[in-house]
Amino acid sequence: MKNVLLFLFVILQIQAYSQNEVAHIRNVSHQQFVKKKKKGWDADAGVIPSLTIGGTTSASTNTETSNKIIDEKKESHWQSGQPYPTNFMTRPDQNILINHLNTKSQYTASNISTPKNATDGNPNSTAANLKPKNGEVFLELFFQKPQTLISVALRAGNVTQPIEVFIKENNQLRNIGKYNKSDDHQILRFPAKSKNVNSIVIKSKGGFSLWEIAALESAPKEWAMVDLGKIQNVGWVDTRHWAGEKTAVSSALLVSKDGKNWTKIKDLDPNALQTVTTIINPSVHARYIKLEHGVAEKDWGSVFIWEFDVYDEYGPYGQMPPAKMNPNTFKEMLGVNGIWGWGFEKYSDLVPQGRGADLFEKISSHARNYHFLMWDVMDPDNAPDYVKMAEGKGTETNWWLDWDREYKEWTEGKMKLQTSIQFRDIPKEQWNNPYESAYKFGYLFAQHFGPTSGNGLVEAIEAGNEPWYYEADFYKKILHGMTRGIKEADPKITVLPCALQAAFPANEYEGQFKNYIGARVTPEVKDYLDAINTHLTPWSYNEKGEQIATHPEHPYNGTRAILNIIRFRNQNLPKLPIYVSEWGWDSDGGNEECIHGECVSEKAQALYAVRGALMLARTGVDRATWYFFANENKESSLFTRSGLVSSLTTDFNIKQAYVAWKAMLHHIGDKHFLKVIREDNEAWVYLLGNKNGTATHIVAWRPIDANNNTSTNIDFQTIFKPKKAWKLEGKNETGEPTLTPSFKKGKVSMEVSAVPVVMEVE
């Protein structure tokens, strides 16, 4: 999910590729899911279905198209009718004066015939005729209690003298407009903008016909709603509710048990373009969910609602799984994404000592490289000649290229090498025989780089990074061929598919980022896979629908999509590890600013790097490979500031996140996650220890934004007494010593903040 900067070679000065664009889209499957667990292979095992599936819809207008708000297509929408210029006059839910003149106590007039005609809601029906009394025509419409008004509308005919329009506030008349002879038979609206109207008054020196008088107490409401079919527990509502360009003045989310009595949950921004998540805390019991727009005073303007998804309080990601001991230590779990030459634009054995692989092996058990298929062959159907390459004669594409030389430098230390075979940018039409060609490439690659008959430089291979521009059926041919070829050449290499997600099936048929695991990993390849591969992005959307980065524990941070992958794995491939091959945050630091919308502070990146690693270890993830080792040599934009160090431009300055990771590994690098002590809104507290289950450390923090400097005092029960404590903020490679929490009668009392604290215990 990243813009991968390829630091290419001085000799050919090849231009950098831009890999991986991102769309964060909340959708539901086109299939009718049920929550009951299926037996056998279940492509949708990871999905938490929206409660709207199987629901029915209705709307204030154009009900026949309201089903589009739950059709799982993010680009389709319901469009309302047009209240202005005249339609609001016919609507009892908008025009508060409909039938007002049917009751004599609600008005007084000089001389009026058939008064009900003037408030029947039809400006084209028979008019009420008003004649002078004592030289003046007047009509006053009373309200039983002070009324809010935003406008009064009038259609009159046979006008001989100007008609003055007033509102009465605290028994004082205020003129809001004039209907002249030249306006005869037109509908005019007069702004009132008052919260305390006792009555509406019209006066004239001459008689006239009053075709209709109408009034609005607020912007006309247009709405669409979903009937879930029964009362459900509702705690999470995703809406794509953009109302159109300046066509709505308000938007609101409402819920109801009976469709009659409504509770407003939240006011929304009608100009939000992307999906907006509303968390209802505490959750409510509701059957009906309504989104209501207040329409701007704009003739022929209509509003839109695009999509509804409704969940319980855990949303589309679901609950955290039961905690189990992670068989991997933190050092074994953590890795980093690199690139040829580690950013120096030359072979890694020419990189200054202490840089490149030397620097990152201090915090990583493995490194991941983006290995472009087209660097090795000119056509994907051609067979790579790695024997020739090993003889120093380059590849078919690049005469100078020697992967053995490059990869030897990566693995001379303690890091293992995971390669992601990149072919997303190859047009589909270039693959004449995708299955056979992928098999051939995979076989020859594993034969050369694998441990059985090759040089053993590569420990894991991914069949693609993000080939999202291939439809599922085409990618599956490549996946099947490549994974089979790899395994038949060397069964000892770890084989993975491309990076996929298990939460949102609709990504496969909406938009360009097609990455649903249920469509791309099928039983025919399960025997060739050794791990599942996924990327996690730390984003959510704010109230304006803008994509932002949030802390990893945030209920709708994209990191939680790991939970869907876990459910898919547990159902279909229960013995397979899970590799998170890309995750991380963009940040300031290293003398490079980060100013795009997904940026966090340097401190935040450091805290989230530690807290995110702890969270992933707790979920049972086997590998978590940070994206990216360094910032890119570009202006601030998505993924260019995700490095643990700065870019080549600023000499790869160390950022706080690198230091924080090093401090974490200093204390708990050889330790395992053991169990959850506490995991709530106030604090997350984990027990860590040795592979035999012996507890050695406790780590605690508040699951809040890193820039929230508040702290709180907590207690938790444990038999383990803290001996020493350190903060992991990225200021010191061994952590920052802090006050040891108190321990009394099996209870630890301590102060927690956004900064994780690790405690050695006995």
Residue 660, H or E segment: helix 656-668
Contact call for residues 640 and 650 (beta carbons, < 8 A): no
Mean pLDDT of 538-565: 94
Instruction: Check residues 6 and 186 and name the one with the higher pLDDT.
Output: 186
- pLDDT digits 0-9 by tens, 111-135: 999 999 999 999 999 999 999 999 9
Largest Cα–Cα separation, the chain: 113
Asked if pLDDT for residue 504 goes beyond 50, the answer is: yes
Q: What is the model's pLDDT at position 36?
A: 58
How far is C-alpha 253 from the geometric centre of its chain's CA atoms? 19
Q: Nearest to residue 330, comparing CAs of 674, 573, 586?
A: 674
Mean pLDDT of the chain: 93
Cis peptide before 282 (omega within 30 of 0): yes
User: What CATH number does domain 672-761 carry, 3.40.50.1970, 3.20.20.100, 3.90.1640.30, 2.60.40.1180?
Assistant: 2.60.40.1180
CATH superfamily of 56-84+220-313: Galactose-binding domain-like (2.60.120.260)
Asked if pLDDT for residue 33 goes beyond 70, the answer is: no
* Cβ atoms < 10 Å from Cβ of 360: 25
Mean pLDDT lowest for which of 321-335, 392-406, 497-511, 658-672?
497-511
Q: What are the structure tokens assigned to 697, written together?
A: 């450390």
Q: What is the model's pLDDT at position 308?
A: 94
Q: What are the structure tokens assigned to 656, written together?
A: 């706080």
**d(C-alpha 701, C-alpha 729), whole Å:** 11
Asked if pLDDT for residue 23 goes beyond 60, the answer is: no
Residue 213: left if φ>0, alpha if ψ -120 to 50, beta else—which one?
Answer: beta
DSSP 391: I
Mean pLDDT lowest for which of 68-72, 428-432, 539-543, 610-614?
539-543
Whether the pTM exceeds 0.85: the reply is: yes
Instruction: Check residues 96 and 544 and name the one with the higher pLDDT.
Output: 96
Asked if pLDDT for residue 18 goes beyond 70, the answer is: no
Instruction: Check residues 424 and 606 and name the one with the higher pLDDT.
Output: 606
Sorted by where each begins, the domain ranges of the chain are 56-84+220-313, 87-216, 672-761
Distances (CA, A) of 654 to 146, 588, 591: 66, 12, 10
Q: Nearest to residue 482, comparing CAs of 425, 444, 530, 534?
A: 444
Q: What is the model's pLDDT at position 27?
A: 31
Q: Nearest to residue 465, comparing CAs of 340, 581, 339?
A: 581
Amino acid at residue number 128: A
What is the percentage of the chain residues whose pLDDT exceeds 90?
91
Q: What is the model's pLDDT at position 541?
A: 87
Residues 6+ apart with CB under 8 A from 655: 587, 589, 590, 602, 605, 606, 643, 644, 645, 646, 730
CATH superfamily of 87-216: Galactose-binding domain-like (2.60.120.260)
* pLDDT-based confidence at residue 224 (cuts at 50, 70, 90): very high
Asked if pLDDT for residue 38 goes beyond 80, the answer is: no
Check for a shared fold between 87-216 and 672-761.
Answer: no
Residue 564, H or E segment: helix 562-572
Written as one string, the DSSP assignment of 666-721 is HHHTT-EEEEEEEESSS-EEEEEE-TTS-EEEEEEE--S-TT----EEEEEE-SPP
Q: What is the model's pLDDT at position 544?
A: 86
Asked if pLDDT for residue 28 goes beyond 80, the answer is: no
Residues 6+ apart with CB under 8 A from 284: 233, 234, 235, 255, 263, 265
How far is C-alpha 471 from the geometric centre of its chain's CA atoms? 23
Instruction: Check residues 10 and 72 and name the one with the higher pLDDT.
Output: 72
- pLDDT digits 0-9 by tens, 150-175: 999 999 999 999 999 999 998 899 99
Asked if pLDDT for residue 7 goes beyond 80, the answer is: no
**d(C-alpha 689, C-alpha 675), whole Å:** 9
Q: Nearest to residue 506, comparing CAs of 51, 65, 75, 40?
A: 75
* pLDDT-based confidence at residue 37 (cuts at 50, 70, 90): low
Q: What is the model's pLDDT at position 542?
A: 87
Mean pLDDT of 688-702: 98
Residues 6+ apart with CB under 8 A from 290: 223, 224, 225, 226, 253, 254, 255, 256, 262
Asked if pLDDT for residue 439 goes beyond 80, the answer is: yes
Asked if pLDDT for residue 501 goes beyond 50, the answer is: yes
- pLDDT digits 0-9 by tens, 328-386: 999 999 999 999 999 999 999 999 999 999 999 999 999 999 999 999 999 999 999 99
**d(C-alpha 274, C-alpha 74), whole Å:** 10
- pLDDT digits 0-9 by tens, 563-595: 999 999 999 999 999 999 999 999 999 999 999
Task: Give the angle 660-664-666 at the CA atoms, nearest 5°.
Answer: 115
Q: What is the model's pLDDT at position 665?
A: 98
